[in-house]
Structure 1
């Protein structure tokens, strides 16, 4: 067991965490990134990435995260293969965290970049066909289904918004909902139900995603009627699971304020939490956009604000030293 000391401790390693590390290292804060259970975040399970600025051709999600990681290391970041299981934020800076390895991490400022996870149905074929017809982000992947038949599974705001978005690419969008009414806001429901490109299948649950991961990917969905139990199939080229996201905030529950969805509450327009020196960035605090580029942007903001916070600490400490010397 060892103790690791840094000016900037970053918990999480997706686009937000790596961007915070890049900016933090360039500001000479010698950041440590504790990478967690899924180094690279959700992009490591995303195949084609076509909407990240700077790349004319499609790039692979895992490759993009490896490049971000390498860049962060190149400018001076220390990467730790560990998962934080406990944080102490109550006593102010410096902040203390403990990994499941037993190692202790101490940072003058701390960035929470633990991300979020899409909620999945947990039915056969979902995992095997992930990235091969099954997705949890229409904004990320809808472009690949131009002119094709797609389905969205869910009944809340996210599902309706995804279905409406997909009409930009597809003339045949089916919304599948296990009940006979939607939970989405009324204005969204009205737009959906009036849209000529969208069909709603009521009282239907997806039993499995069918297709061959090695040859062509998803071909159809196996459905079950939630009222009479009958079975049916729906041929689709792409299916989007839109039953919500779960921010990875278990680590800070009871230590930072969370909103009703479990996301870390920050000062509007900033990554600053209510505790000075504690910052949150990426999907752990963003329930609206949830894109790699916006996560990277808030990671940059977190590092810049951490730098300002630490500069303020140094001024206070210098002033305290001068006052002590004058008293002597």
Structure 2
């Protein structure tokens, strides 16, 4: 028998959708993923330590703990959760068919909340200092005490890299924007903002090739000049990657409309995809805000839209 709602993914978008769908007596079934996209169930929040910008937690809360609370709430209201990854889908007919390993699942409606994964550099020292000085989200982590008043570095050359550098400049004593070329990809207005900011210094033609530190965390990075290969060491208390995200949409290619970078296209102001009855919420369709709270909000939208759609079908 087909499930009324199947939710793929288990971050704030997936769990908010599950809570709303469960309370609407839709008996949602969630496939939370097992290390899908290289990240534990719960999504990107599980890769961050302190979350200080999620309403309701004035003291901040550990990212993994927050996702545990999401999960407990989903289960409490009647969501069935499977710790499996959906590996294939067929949206060409209804009920929709999904596969997880060997299991075949039928669904009247589907909410996709598979998120995106921040690109990493995979340099020596990265694993050691991940979340101990290295982060892929300045908005999430930049205001944490470990970064305040320190010299920080951002890697990247696009709008988001400049935005992250700007954001960090509020808390840091200085921000180095490190770019492997001699021009930024960022829009003119963003470039101007970076170049005129008294706390931001752009280091051109540089690659970060190693992260170094001590027991308490990151203390410096090794740079290599992309032109003459000269190496230098830069003392920083934090390193932020702003080299893009990869949306986890591989299994939907050829069935759902994706944009040029792989994000699911939704009808503006909704979570509707190009296939009726299939909805997308959270970072899998949002490359602008990428926050836990905006993902949660779109998860709510997806559940309400799925409920309304099911009533008419």
In structure 2, the residue matched to 1:270 is 270
Deviates more, 1:195-204 or 1:280-289: 195-204
Deviates more, 1:251-260 or 1:280-289: 251-260
Deviation string, structure 1 residues 145-176 (Cα, Å, up to 9, x no partner): 22221110111111111111112222301101
Give, in whole Å, the separation in 1 of the partners of 2:163 and 2:207. Answer: 19
* Unmatched 5+ stretches in structure 1: 314-328
Give, in whole Å, the separation in 2 of the partners of 1:282 and 1:112. Answer: 9
In structure 1, the residue matched to 2:307 is 307
TM-score, structure 2 as length reference = 0.96
Tell me by how many angstroms 1:216 deviates. Answer: 1.4
Q: Does 1:97 align with 2:101?
A: no
In structure 2, the residue matched to 1:234 is 234
**1:63 counterpart SS class:** helix
Tell me by how many angstroms 1:106 deviates. Answer: 1.2
Give, in whole Å, the separation in 1 of the partners of 2:179 and 2:116. Answer: 23
Alignment of 1:83-122 (within 5 A): 83-91=85-93, 93-100=94-101, 102-122=102-122
Give, in whole Å, the separation in 1 of the partners of 2:148 and 2:229. Answer: 33
Give, in whole Å, the separation in 1 of the partners of 2:88 and 2:266. Answer: 21
Q: Which runs of 4+ in 1 moved over 2 A?
A: none
Deviates more, 1:279-288 or 1:226-235: 226-235
In structure 2, the residue matched to 1:68 is 70
Alignment of 1:156-167 (within 5 A): 156-167=158-169
Q: Does 1:197 align with 2:199?
A: yes
Give, in whole Å, the separation in 1 of the partners of 2:2 and 2:311. Answer: 18
**1:128 counterpart SS class:** helix
Alignment of 1:209-228 (within 5 A): 209-212=211-214, 215-228=215-228
Tell me by how many angstroms 1:94 deviates. Answer: 1.6
* Equivalent pair of 2:2/2:95 in contact (CA under 8 Å): no
* Unmatched 5+ stretches in structure 2: none
In structure 2, the residue matched to 1:7 is 4
**RMSD of equivalent CA atoms:** 1.0
Give, in whole Å, the separation in 1 of the partners of 2:19 and 2:251. Answer: 24
Give, in whole Å, the separation in 2 of the partners of 1:312 and 1:62. Answer: 38
In structure 2, the residue matched to 1:323 is none
Aligned length: 306
* Equivalent pair of 2:224/2:231 in contact (CA under 8 Å): yes
Give the structure with higher Rg (CA). 1
In structure 2, the residue matched to 1:258 is 258
Give, in whole Å, the separation in 2 of the partners of 1:257 and 1:108. Answer: 20
* Equivalent pair of 2:22/2:74 in contact (CA under 8 Å): yes
TM-score, structure 1 as length reference = 0.91
**2:300 counterpart SS class:** helix
